[in-house]
Amino acid sequence: MLDRRPAVSWFEIHSENYFADGGPPLATLERIRADYPVAMHGVGLSLGSTDPLDREHLRKLKRLADRVDPALVSEHLCWSSVDGRHFNDLLPLPYNEDALDHVCARVSAVQDHLGRTIAVENVSSYYAFPESTVPEYAFVAAVAARTGAKLLVDVNNIYVNARNHGIDPAAYLAAIAPASVAEIHLAGFDASGPIVIDTHGAPVAPEVWSLYERAIARFGPVPTLIEWDTDIPAFDVLLREAATAQRVLDEHAIVAA
Amino acid sequence: MRSSLPELQRRFAAALLDGAGEDARIGAYRNTVTANYRNALGATYRVVRELTGGPFFDTAVDAFAASHPSTGGDLNVYGGELAEFLASYPYARELAYLPDVARLEWALDEAHRAADPSGTPASTLAALAAIPGPEVATQRFALDPSCRFLHSPHPVMRIWQVHQPDHEGDRQVDLRAGGDHLLIRREDATPVIERLPAGDYAFLVSLAAGADLSAALEAALNADATFDLGTALRTHIASGVIMAVAH
């Protein structure tokens, strides 16, 4: 990969995969960082958990951010642990005032600790709490508005949740302030069962590409990442997917004077 | 009364773990969580998985995850107690060597992500030469942070080797071939396993535990009366295993 010097504009890493004290992954990352911008994308901070923030996890996140000087640090709007037990998965939040207060306090605490603005990502979900009182998109937009955090808008997750919970994807996009959007994710899903599952193991679906075009029309040419981390295909297949996203971005790019 | 956020998260977690009164939507999460642990530990314990077969391994991982739940958000460091779990797992009783193969794979995993060494053979030799003669016996040493040690009554290194994808030829293992004293470390980005003489093993394990040179020498001689201190120091400093003199 490094020897090919692919013509991509940036790389994104799973933060936790570089939490080690040393070793080859960190050395490879430093080689990449010398030539490309890098974004850090965490999956394990358990931002929405009501357990105390994991100080050791935060310490390693900050150590990595200080080392990499990333273009962006992002985490998921979800929770993963309760009463000290971790599920290592992106579990759904209820969307109500109680949860909003809690999540906003946590986002602010993390931003204070890291000394930087983070981005939070909307997650795909299969379960909707009956205790939710506001639509998911209102919750997501409110977190950004209250904390100053940026949003990592996962367009596939919007589509998956629209299918699973009957959300209007157009209303979702309309609720999000364009200025808050720092990055976009795209991915493939599996709709073979009763629930649409976000697998990151398939090409981006045509419906998601068209939702992506609407997102870019509203948000502008936002840096976009295709997530494909199970059943990973040949690198050329990934590059073709990325090229499709680039075409959409180019169509909406502001031409410099 | 409206449920608080902690109550809602506890309720969700209980439903995820329980499976009773099955809600397909929570079942989707259970499937992901189960698969995550199977995949993560299957990658770390690739040889254990090959020895037991996938279905046996997955069932064991499910039981392990239930009795040793994850407590952190970094899956890369989850599963270090699998060897102890397998040692008391009734269905694995006939595979007496299995826990030590698991210990070996965990040691390789730890070596892979350990801190980088901070000294060189030349700097270690220079520091050693600067120590006044009478103080050498009480000198302590720092080992390469990736060093792990494993003593097994089973030939676990051979078992591990014949289950490597690039292994060619005979895959037979004589389980009565005798045990192994192993040093596991990362060398030039690659985790390696080295079989040590019993004296060298005792010597390095003692140093790693913080013993001074005279105590480590005594442990080495107890393990092997023919242990030669000069040879061992030269060998293990040259290889970078002994990385620095401790201050």
Give residue-wise pLDDT tens across range A74-128.
999 999 999 999 999 999 999 999 999 999 999 999 999 999 999 999 999 999 9
| Residue of chain A nearest B115, judged by CA positions | A22
Among B37, B187, B194, residue whose Cα is nearest residue B112: B187
CB of B147 within 8 A of CB of B117? no
The verdict on domain A11-251 having CATH code 3.30.70.600 is: no
CA B73 to chain A, closest CA, distance in angstroms equals: 4
Name A1's Cβ contacts closer than 8 Å, sequence gap at least 6.
A235
pLDDT classification of A256: cutoffs 50, 70, 90 = very low
Question: Mean pLDDT across the stretch A236-243?
Answer: 88
Span A175-209, pLDDT tens digits? 999 999 999 999 999 998 888 999 888 999 999 99
Question: Is B5 close to A86, i.e. CB distance below 8 A?
Answer: no
| Residue of chain B nearest A54, judged by CA positions | B72
Q: For residues A182 and A40, give the distance between their C-alpha atoms in angstroms, rounded to a whole number.
A: 13
| Residue of chain A nearest B28, judged by CA positions | A126
What is the model's pLDDT at position A3?
Answer: 66
Residues of A in contact with B6 (CB under 8 A): 50, 82
Q: Give the domain ranges of chain A.
A: 11-251
Among A75, A82, A79, A78, residue whose Cα is nearest residue A61: A75
- Does pLDDT of A157 surpass 80? yes
What is the model's pLDDT at position A257?
Answer: 38
Q: Which amino acid is at A52?
A: P
Q: Determine which helix (DSSP H) or strand (DSSP E) holds B103, and give its type and residue range.
A: helix B98-113
Q: ipTM of the predicted structure?
A: 0.93
Span B132-161, pLDDT tens digits? 999 999 999 999 999 999 999 999 999 999
Span A104-113, pLDDT tens digits? 999 999 999 9
Phi, psi of B164 (to 5 degrees): -85, 145
Q: For residues A129 and A113, give the distance between their C-alpha atoms in angstroms, rounded to a whole number.
A: 31
Query: Taking all residues of chain A, what is their mean pLDDT, rounded to a whole number?
Result: 93
Span B189-203, pLDDT tens digits? 899 999 999 999 999
pLDDT classification of A60: cutoffs 50, 70, 90 = very high
Question: Mean pLDDT across the stretch B101-124?
Answer: 96
Residues of B with CB under 8 A from a CB of A: 2-6, 8-10, 12-13, 16, 23-26, 28-29, 32-33, 36-37, 40, 69-78, 112-116, 145-146, 186, 189
Question: Mean pLDDT across the stretch B208-227?
Answer: 98
| Residue of chain A nearest B111, judged by CA positions | A23
pLDDT classification of A255: cutoffs 50, 70, 90 = very low
Q: For residues B16 and B30, give the distance between their C-alpha atoms in angstroms, rounded to a whole number.
A: 6
Residue found by looking up tokens 């998921």 in the block: A76
- Does pLDDT of B120 surpass 80? yes
CA A114 to chain B, closest CA, distance in angstroms equals: 17
- Does pLDDT of B94 surpass 80? yes
Query: Taking all residues of chain B, what is their mean pLDDT, rounded to a whole number?
Result: 95
Question: Mean pLDDT across the stretch A141-166?
Answer: 97
What is the model's pLDDT at position B119?
Answer: 87
Span B169-192, pLDDT tens digits? 899 999 988 899 999 999 988 999
pLDDT classification of A238: cutoffs 50, 70, 90 = confident
Percent of chain A at pLDDT exceeding 70: 96
- Does pLDDT of B1 surpass 60? no
What is the SS3 assignment for A198?
strand
Question: Mean pLDDT across the stretch B35-62?
Answer: 98
Other Cβ atoms less than 10 A from the Cβ of A62: the count is 16
- Does pLDDT of B129 surpass 80? yes
Q: Give the domain ranges of chain B.
A: 1-95, 103-247
What is the model's pLDDT at position B188?
Answer: 85
Closest residue to B33, CB basis, from A21, A87, A92: A87
What is the model's pLDDT at position A4?
Answer: 66
What is the model's pLDDT at position A254?
Answer: 53
Closest residue to A82, CB basis, from B2, B10, B76: B10
What is the model's pLDDT at position B21?
Answer: 64
Question: Mean pLDDT across the stretch B75-89?
Answer: 97
